[in-house]
Amino acid sequence: MVFSRLFFIYIFLPLCLLCYAAARGIKQKNTVLIIFSLLFYAWGEPVYIFLMLLTAAVNYTAGLIIGKYQGKGGDTAATAAAVAYDLLMLGIFKYSGFIAENINALFSCSIPVPDIRLPIGISFYTFQTISYIIDCHWEKVKPQKSFKNFLLFLTLFPQLVAGPIVRYSTIEKEIVNRTVELRDISYGFNRIALGLAKKVLLADQLNIISESFLGNIGGSTAFGAWYGVIAYGMRIYFDFSGYSDIAIGLGRVFGFHFDENFNHPFICKDITEFWQRWHISLSIFFRDYVLYIPIFGKRRKYGGLFLVWLCTGIWHGASWNFIFWGLYYGVFVFIEMKIGKKKMKKIPVVIRHIYSKFVIFIGFGIFYFEDIGKLGTFFKTAFGFGKNGFIAVQDRISLINNMYLLIIAVICCFPVLNGIKTLSDKRFASKAVISSSAAVAAALLLVITSIMLVDSTTHPFLYYRF
C-alpha cells in the first residue's frame, strides 16, 4: 500500500482513525494500530508478512533472554544469535542472487542464481530490530516484556516500509503512555499534506525529466546528462523526504514523535554536512553501531569510516554501483577529515558550495546506473566525451517547458517554512493567523494532490525497493 494513493488517503487512513478514536484506553488503541499495520503490510506482501512476524518473534525472545542474563554468557549469545538471524534474513532475501552471480563470474561456476523477490521494507525493519537488540545488550533500553507492544514498535505502519529508521528508545515510553492534542493533529495533517505534495507535485514530475535523459543516456548530450542527474537528485530528495514527512505526520496524529530524517541537505557546504542532513536515521545508525567497531586497532577511526560507507552502499542495494557509491562518499568524507574542520571553513563559501554540489550530483549519477556500462556512458557524456555534443534542441525545449517546476523545486530545497516560522515568532503575524494560513495551505495542497492522483500512474516511493 502506498501513501500517495487515493485509497490510502480517503479510505484506509480515515477508517483507521475512526477505529482508533473509538478505541478506549491505550491497549485498545495499540491493538487497532497493530491490526491496521498488519493489513497495511499484507496489502502488498501477503506472504512475507509471516517473515516479518517471525523476525518479531525471534528478536522479542532474544530481548527477553538478554534481560534475564544481563552481563552473562546468555546475554552475549542471545545478542549474537539475534543479530546473526537478522543479517542472515537480509542477506538471503536481498543479496543471495548478487553473491551467486559474482561467484559464478569470478570462478567460472554455475551456481543457481536464486530469483527471490525482495520483501518490502526489510532493510528498514531489520535495522530497527538490530538497534533494539544491541541497545538491550548495552543496557540503553530495557527489553520489552509484552510481545504485543514489541510488535507495535516493529510494524507501526507510518514508518514500516520506508523509514525513517525508528529506534525503540525513541518511542519506548509512547508505546504505553501517549496523548494526542489538537495541535498534534493539526501539525500531523499539515506535515502529511506537505509530504504528499513533495511526492506527487515535485518528485513524480521531476522523475519524468530524469528518465527522459538518464533512461536514454546514450542519446543524451552533456547538458542533458547534467540536467537529468540534477532532476534525479531532486526527485530522490522530494520522494524520500516526502515519505518521511508523511511518516512523521502520521506518527504525530497517533501520538508518536519520530525524529527528523532530512534537514534541507542541499544547503550543505561540504560532504560531511550533507550526510548530517540527508537520511539522518541511517547515518546515526551506522555511526552508533558500526563506526566504532574495535576491529581496526589504532586505525579504527579511518577503518571504521570506510566500513560505514561500504555498509551504506551495500544497504542500498545488491549491485556494484551502490558499493562504488558508498566508497565514493567515503573517500570525500575521509579527505575532509584529513583537511580538518578549521581549514575547510577557511575555504570561500561559494567554492565549498560548488564543490559539494558537484560531488553530490555525480554521486546521484553513480546511484542511478546499476548497469556499469551505462554508468561509464554517463561519465563520458557528462564530461564532454559523448557522441551527441553539448546541447540539443530538445534539451532547450525541456528546460523551457519545465522552468516553473525547476524553479519551485529549487526554492523548496531551502528552509522556506523555517523562515516563515521565524517571522511569525518575531510577531510579524499572530500565531492564530499563521496556524490558519498553514491549515488552508495544507488543505489546498491536499486538493491539488488529489486531483493529480486521479487516473495517475504515480510511482511508488523510491525507497520501497531498499
Q: What is the pLDDT of residues 56-105, one digit of tens each?
A: 999 999 999 999 998 888 899 999 999 999 999 999 999 999 999 999 98
Query: What's the confidence (pLDDT) of residue 114?
Result: 86
Task: Say if residues 83 and 133 touch (Cβ distance below 8 Å).
Answer: yes
Long-range residue pairs from 110-114, CB within 8 A, at least 24 positions apart, any chain: none
Query: What's the confidence (pLDDT) of residue 466?
Result: 61
Give the residue from 382, 403, 390, 364 showing the smallest Cα distance to 217.
382
User: How far, in Å, CA of 287 to CA of 26, rounded?
Assistant: 34
Q: Tell me, what DSSP letter sits at residue 259?
A: P
Residues annotated as part of the active site: 316
pLDDT in tens, 125-148: 999 999 999 999 999 999 999 999
Query: What's the confidence (pLDDT) of residue 465?
Result: 63
User: Which of helix, strand or coil describes residue 255?
Assistant: coil
Three cell numbers, residue 389:
555534443
DSSP string spanning 217-248?
A: GGG--HHHHHHHHHHHHHHHHHHHHHHHHHHH
Query: What's the confidence (pLDDT) of residue 142?
Result: 94
Task: Say if residues 352 and 345 touch (Cβ distance below 8 Å).
Answer: no
User: How far, in Å, CA of 433 to CA of 78, rounded?
Assistant: 55
Three cell numbers, residue 209:
525529466
Three cell numbers, residue 122:
526489510
Query: What's the confidence (pLDDT) of residue 214?
Result: 96
Q: Which parts of the chain register pLDDT below 50?
A: none
User: How far, in Å, CA of 18 to CA of 36, rounded?
Assistant: 12
User: How far, in Å, CA of 456 to CA of 43, rounded?
Assistant: 20
Task: Say if residues 43 and 1 touch (Cβ distance below 8 Å).
Answer: yes
User: How far, in Å, CA of 162 to CA of 282, rounded?
Assistant: 11
Three cell numbers, residue 100:
551467486
Give pTM, 2 decimals.
0.93
Query: What's the confidence (pLDDT) of residue 74?
Result: 87
- Letter string b/e over residues 187-217, b meaning 16 or more CB atoms within 10 A of that residue's CB: bbbbbbbbbbbbbbbbbbbbbebbbbbbeeb
Query: What's the confidence (pLDDT) of residue 295?
Result: 54
Evaluated on CA atoms 462, 189, 445, 34, the torsion sign reads: positive
Query: What's the confidence (pLDDT) of residue 2?
Result: 85
pLDDT in tens, 25-38: 999 999 999 999 99
